[in-house]
Every structure is written in structure tokens, then in C-alpha cells.
Structure 1
Amino acid sequence: MTTLALADSRTMLRRGVRRFVRYPSLTVMLIGLPVVFLLLFVYVLGGTLGDGLSGGGRSAYLAYVVPGILMLTIASTGQGTAISVAMDMQEGIIARFRTMAIHQPAVLVGHVGATVIQTAVALAVVLGVAVAMGYRPEAGPLGWLGAVGLVLLATLAVTWLSVALGLGAKSVESASNSPMILTLLPFLGSGFVPTDSMPTALRWFAEYQPFTPIIETLRALLDGRAPASLSLWLALGWCVLVGVGSYVRSTRLYTRSR
């Protein structure tokens, strides 16, 4: 990447970050949803679900559900990205950028970089709430390194997918609705209950959808266990497949709309 491209990407990144600072209500909403679900599932349902999982009660369920909540957080911030991209497309700012002598892909890079920062803040808040509730991850240095790396890969994949959804949306309203399926995937996977407790058809979908191997791998890393090799490779494969495919789709949509 040339010096000009790097400079333009930094400029667009600052623009994205300033948008989050100037309009904090969206960030608060995107962070608030996972926190509410964390409190709801742990304090209202956690005692019963924890006893059903391992007999460990609410504390055992808290350790089980945190990885699913973290993935829900990533999916929620992706919805904000789709809205921001659609707003840029609908309000004409992209047309203005195209008349300027800037590195055009920097516009998308700025959205992605700003969302990664926003997601990091959201994940820190959610994890802090979980720790305040009694969550104590047992991961060592290598486990934390692997967990952070996996979360970063998942964030990039979901963010590029959200950019593609925002570029392809006909309106801001449709852009806000299209990524909602992402927030449902942790529920339709192993984020909140084991997949073997589900009916056969739903269990098959839950075990092979993208979020389940990511959640299972993240859960093992945070628990201080070695993740199952199949879950690890499926998690990495899904992140790369979704991320690269969405990046290609986003650049094509951006170029096509010029």
C-alpha cells in the first residue's frame, strides 16, 4: 500500500471514529443489547440452565455463556456498520469522495477500522460486566493470545460482511434489518445451550453454522483448555471464507456503484 493510500485510510479511520464519538447513542445501543442478554440469561435463567449443564448453577452457566455473548457483541456492532455504510451511500458523501483525488478503497477501510475499534470497546465493556458478575477465565498467556486472535478474525469477517450488506442495501432501513440474522446465530448455535439438547434438524444446523465452531473454540481457550482440532479449523476456515468473500463482494459493489 502506498504512502498516499495509508494517509487516506488514516483520514477515513479518523472520520469513522469521530462519527462514533459524535453519535454515542448507537454505540450505547449496540453495547447495551449484549449486556442486557448477559444479565437476563445469567440472573433469570442461569441457575436452572447451569444445573442442567453440569450441576454448577449460575456460576457455571456464566462461564458457559460468555463466549456466546461476545459473539453476539460482534454481530451487534456489525449491524451499526451496515447502517453507517448505507447512510454514506444514500446521503451522497461517497459521490463527493469520488470527485476527490483520494485512494478510493480507503473509504471502506476506514469503516472497517473504525468498527474494529468500536467492537474492541464493546467487547471490553461486556467482558468487564461479566467479570463483575463473577466470571473468572482460566486462560493462560497463550490462551488469551489465541482468544484475541480468533475474536479479531471473527470481527473482521463480520465487519466486511456488514460492509457488503450496507453497500447492497436499497435504503438505510433495509441496511439496519439485513444483518439482524447475525444476531440470531449465537442463539441458533452453542452460544446459550449445548447443541445436543436441540431437535435433530435444528441441531444439524446449529452444529455446522459459522458461529458454533468459533464459540466452541473461544470457550475452550478462555477455559484454559486446548480446543478441539475440528472446531478450531472450522472456526478459522469460516472466518477466512466469510472475510475474504465479503471483502471481494464489497469492493465489487463499491466499484459497480461508481
Structure 2
Amino acid sequence: MNDRSRKRGRTGGTGDPARSGRAGAEPFAAVEAATDWLLGYPFVFRALARRIRGGDVLVDYGCGPGTVADRAARVLGARVVGVDTSPEMLASARARESAVAEFHLVENGRATGLADGCADAVMCNHVIASLPDEQAVLGVLTEIRRLLRPGAPCVLLATDPACTGREYASLRIGEPGEVYGPGDELTVRLRRTDGSWQEVRNHGWPPGIYPELLEGAGFREVAQHHPTVEEAQSLADPELLRGRDWTAERERPPLVVTTALAV
């Protein structure tokens, strides 16, 4: 754990309190996530498609209301299993008409009911930013490694805190003019489907810290990529692409996809 994390001395769970309870679950189900659907999830699915086949078990670690897990099941033909720390999020996910096979609660850092090496792949979208210190990040990565068979891929999607203060189509990371160190608390604004904005407490983890932590958790062959709007032309929904000019996304793409293989 770095000195900055020690000095903050944060306690509590590894997730964002805004996600807990019905009051937290319902707003997350209404997040628009246009930038993610342009520069994030299609690239996560592409990375997974290179490594898994139809029928393989894919765990969505931090599945939230299950929207991305459902799309992954339909796009990849995988048997998707959603896990989350929030019972209310899982209740919301179960209530949807979904292609997700099953859902499991994470308790005390462990996905209940899932055996070691049960997964052919794991995706983990926007979970790392909710974690308060390096020990918590390492704990999540270690649990993901437990779920994976040797040689199986892990794909992480995260915001890059170097893009602080820019107004993207569906999010803003931190406050304009602020500089955030590793693990520093920041606020992310997310656009909802009704046009309003929701604020979420996150932490600024630069992509450069991921390789060492992944290797410490039992991964190898770590690679990172910042997807661009140009690359998205062949992957994202054409209607989504045409619907906005994506000026900020073109100037500085805010998302990073990290891939690694379990040892």
C-alpha cells in the first residue's frame, strides 16, 4: 500500500456506498453510459471474443444491474454469471428479462457459491475506481484470479484519471483544474437516461498501477489500450456513433481496457 493510501486511513467496504440500498441501485439502472458503449464495452467484448468460445463461463465481477452482463451473454454466446457486493443491485439484475445464467453475492471479498477455477474468463467494468486503497484493489484482483482457470483472461475497464474535468458525452471524471494522485477520492458525474446527472464517489487509479498489482495477484501478459472513436467505427452501434459528435472523446479518450492472463 502506498503512503498516500495509508494517510487517508479509509475504512469500510470495498464498494461505493452510493451503490448500496434501493436508493443506490435504482439510479445506477438508469445510467445512460453512452461513452462506455462507444469506447468501453465493445472493446471489452472484442478482447473476450479472442479468448473464449460459445458456452464458456464468463463472470462479470461487479455486474451492477446486469445490463452489460446481459449484452455480453447475447453477443458472445457465453454462459454469463454476474457477481456483485450489493444485494440490491443483484435484486435489480434478477428482476430484468436477461440472458444472464445466474447471480452471486460477494461477501467478505469472496463470490459465494463459486468454486476455484470455475470461470473461462472474467470481465470487471468500473470496479477498480470504487476501491479506496491498493490493498482493496489487490483483494479484488486476487478473488478474480481465484475464479479463473489457469491461462484464462481477465479484462478490466476503467476511467483514466488523467482525463480529469473534461465534459464527455455521458461522464465527467473529477473536477476541472484538479490533479489527483493514486487513490485520491474524486467525484464522477454520470448522465442518466432522463438527461439529469448523478454523482458517484470514486478514486483516481492511474492505469500505470495495474500491471504490478495484476502480477502480484497471479496474472501475466498484461496489456493496456485506450480505445479511440476511430477504432469504434467498426465495433460500436452505428446509431450511437451517428447520434453525437464525440468531440471530447476524440480529443482525449477517457477509458482504458486492461487485459491479463491467469497464471
Task: Give the TM bin, normalised by the shorter chain.
Answer: under 0.3
Greater Rg over alpha carbons, structure: 1
Larger relative contact order (Cα-Cα within 8 Å, sequence gap ≥ 6)? 1
* The structure with more strand, counted as a fraction of residues: 2
Normalised to the residue count of structure 2, the TM-score between the two structures is 0.26
Normalised to the residue count of structure 1, the TM-score between the two structures is 0.26
